[in-house]
Amino acid sequence: MHTRKRTLVTGGAGFLGSHLCERLLAEGHDVICMDNFFTGSKENILHLLPHPNFELLRHDVTFPLYVEIDEIFNLACPASPIHYQYDPVQTTKTSVHGAINMLGLAKRTHAKIMQASTSEVYGDPEMHPQPEGYWGHVNPIGHRSCYDEGKRCAETLFFDYHRQHHLKIKVARIFNTYGPRMHPGDGRVVSNFIVQALKNEPITIYGSGNQTRSFCYVHDMVDGFVRLMNSNDEITGPVNLGNPCEFTISQLAGMVVEMTGSHSEIDYKPLPFDDPKQRQPVIDLAREQLAWEPRVKLAQGLERTIEYFREMLA
């Protein structure tokens, strides 16, 4: 049992944040969930509201926040292209001003702080798979740049606050994650395929379906966050967190159709312009430093996610 801590989760009403709040409460910590509800929702945390150690704060991370806390998990940021391209200036502000505010808060309160960074800092990688030492291949002026460069700048700020002000920092580079409470309308492949299959609508495969992704179940990801936060102060990251089991998009479509017993057919659509062909994390660092690796197999995780969407659509 860990000692009881007061923990701030920014973006706590979102997909990953709500599962993280749940896990922290289960460990006996006080949790302040802060969110502006841009992509998150009260439904995601409704079941946590009655918990005596849970507090909900409607607040935008781009504005200063004064609270007394021991730890900060900084997750606030829209994560899917549809959402982060809706107001790209606000996306960059959320990553950059948000990081500055949360780092300032950590500095004043001497809190440990973890940043939810992303595999997108590698951009359209020229190296496969991607270890943490790879600097990436990112377009600074494209439609995805508000997200990619915002997250890269946040990493810079984390390391400068660490060097300049000796903050205890942790940077996680998160790869594709799925599970219950994903947004049904954010265009992600797992949620799209499951919703399409459950409605017996055509499954939209972009391109040939031979491109690959490596999908991590949300509980495994949250476990990685907690292990990273609890690790020695010398461990700052950046550390890749994701599931290295790679699947083609066609394989994923096949699994979803079979597991839902759907009558959906496959509908091939054009591949989006900057769609990476492959994505797979190298997680040697997480294995060595955090003794972490994903446990939930894709079939198991899909089962639970399908169950969630079945109830949602009922």
**Catalytic residue annotation:** 147
Residue 214: what residue type? Answer: S
Of residues 245 through 284, those in contact with ligand UDP by CB under 6 A are: 249, 272, 275, 279
Q: Per-residue contact track with ligand NAD, 166 to 205, x per CB under 6 A?
A: --------x-xx----------------------------
Residues 197 and 262: beta-carbon distance below 8 Å: yes
Residues in contact with ligand NAD, shown as a per-residue x/- string from 85 to 124 under the rule CB under 6 A: ---------x---------------------x-x------
Closest Cα partner for 200 from 243, 263, 268, 278? Answer: 263
Q: Which has the closest alpha carbon to 221: 149, 303, 148, 116?
A: 116
Partner in contact with 118, chosen from ligand UDP, ligand NAD, none, beta carbon below 5 to 8 Å by kind = ligand NAD
57 binds ligand UDP (CB under 6 A): no
Q: Which stretch binds ligand UDP (CB under 6 A): 40-48, 88-96, 200-208, 230-238?
A: 200-208
Give the interface with ligand UDP as residue ranges (CB under 6 A).
64-66, 100-101, 104-105, 107-108, 176, 187-189, 192, 204-206, 211, 213, 249, 272, 275, 279
Give the interface with ligand NAD as residue ranges (CB under 6 A).
10-11, 13-17, 35-40, 60-62, 75-79, 94, 116, 118, 174, 176-177
